[in-house]
Chains A and B, each alone.
Chain A
């Protein structure tokens, strides 16, 4: 049979090794991610948007297999949208997180998806829920994920303090992601940030040359 030759890739979909992060503050959340999608050693997309809207005030940060996380996010968006219409109310972040958990846990053997769900709702304000591979669900004030997260646990643990303002959270997230991107080969590109509050959503991008700089040997 006829065959076109495609560059060999075990996961030709675009396997995403990543750095993602989310921080709660009083009144909302700040989420951030790098922008690199790789197929082996080739960067298939250097400006990926890994911060995906699930609903008006609820986002998810995606890490792991691009195909799996896109499919899960599409499915959960649909389910949450349907639920919200039935409820006639904006949905809760916890609901979205549980929908992710149910899908990630049920199909845990088939999927490779590490997701952070973050957003704002009227009942509990800004919330961050992490759903790592395997399908656990836990709420955390600050959460990091992806291959680059390993390099910034120390930074997060030492620099995080509760009661930060939105601007402080944005700075904190940008710094953490820049550090991770510096050290992790599979993370890079630009830093995408979003701040979600009751009044709405502010998205921003920090280009490569504008990233915060640190000591480099």
Chain B
């Protein structure tokens, strides 16, 4: 009863056919003293991990408009409540607005119940909203926080399904990040170990996925404390220019100088005052 995979675009296979040509080109170009242009990147890597005392959320910081980087240092870890934060992948506007809406509603709910909000509540609110919009709100989220029942981590998909897991990754770099998690995740890690793991997972996404870039942000949530580390790791610091293309005055000798004024007549002049009363 389930459809076959013939019309799915779920996963583009990685083709290595250009590898031989590229290595040859690179070798030839290096002989001339130049280097090939670097690959342009688009996309996101976000992830989260539950450790002994809480959760660690991580994200890269690149926002793209098609093939152009729109923001080199955007913040993808959004505030939901004092004890709950949410990383967002997908359409930037959707993740921003969705998290803000649920944050607002959760604050009202918290005031009404007179209790610190629970991660499960935020999860319910998010999934019910996303399901209502049948996937048209392109927000893929990693929701994490610590409440009265301990640390919790959820992944939420644009169509409204959620998974509650000890470690999750989302975004185009999710496969690279998941590879790191699957290798090194252990339950009940210490904080430093967990931070290093998340940092490495995001780095894997940044450097191996043509989908993410710039810096690594972390958010460590424990009972009663949140460390928003932005940036935690400036993995792609902008380089310093080694050369200068400015020429000093006098580099080119001036032989003659001739000034011709343009004949401009004032045809019409009108002043319109602005009403500043």
The 0/1 profile, CB within 8 Å of A marked 1, for residues 113-143 of chain B is 0000000000010011011001100101000
Contact flags A34-71 to B (C-beta < 8 A → 1, else 0): 00011111101101100000000000000011111011
Cβ of A7 under 8 Å from chain B: yes
**Would you call A41 and B11 a contact (CB within 8 A)?**
yes
Chain A residue with minimal CB distance to B166?
A47
Question: Chain A interface: which size bin?
Answer: 35 or more
Given A5-B44, A40-B10, A67-B135, 14 extra CB contacts under 8 A:
A3-B92, A4-B64, A4-B90, A7-B174, A10-B10, A13-B158, A17-B2, A41-B10, A41-B11, A45-B155, A66-B157, A71-B128, A74-B124, A146-B2
- A67 engages B10 (CB within 8 Å): no
Q: Which residue of B lies closest to A11 (CB)?
A: B159
In the bound complex, what is the Cα–Cα distance between A19 and B172 (angstroms)?
Answer: 28
Tell me which of A3, A38, A186 contacts B65 (CB under 8 A): A3
In the complex, chain B residues whose CB is within 8 Å of the CB of A8: 9-12
B-binding residues in A (CB < 8 A): 1-15, 17, 37-42, 44-45, 47-48, 64-68, 70-71, 74, 110, 114, 132-133, 146-147, 186
> Interface on B for A, CB 8 Å cutoff?
1-2, 5, 7-12, 42-44, 63-66, 70-71, 74, 76, 88-93, 95, 124, 127-128, 130-131, 134-135, 138, 140, 155, 157-163, 165, 170-172, 174-175, 211
- Give, as a whole number of angstroms, the nearest-CB distance from A95 to chain B: 23
Q: Which residue of A lies closest to B131 (CB)?
A: A71
Distance of A13 Cα from B71 Cα, bound (Å) = 27
- For the complex, give the distance between the alpha carbons of A2 and B2 in Å: 34
* Contacting pair A2 B93 (CB below 8 A): yes
Closest to B41 in A: A5
| A45 touching B165, Cβ below 8 Å | yes
Contact between chains at B43 and A4 (CB < 8 Å): yes
- Pairwise interchain contact A42-B135, C-beta atoms closer than 8 A: no
A13-B158, A13-B159, A67-B131 given; A42·B10 CB < 8 A:
yes
- The answer to whether residues A5 and B93 also contact, given A66-B157, A147-B1, A147-B2 and a CB cut-off of 8 A, is no
The residue from B1, B64, B130, B175 contacting A7, defined by CB atoms under 8 A apart? B175
Q: Which residues of A are found within 8 Å of B65, using beta-carbon distances?
A: 1-3
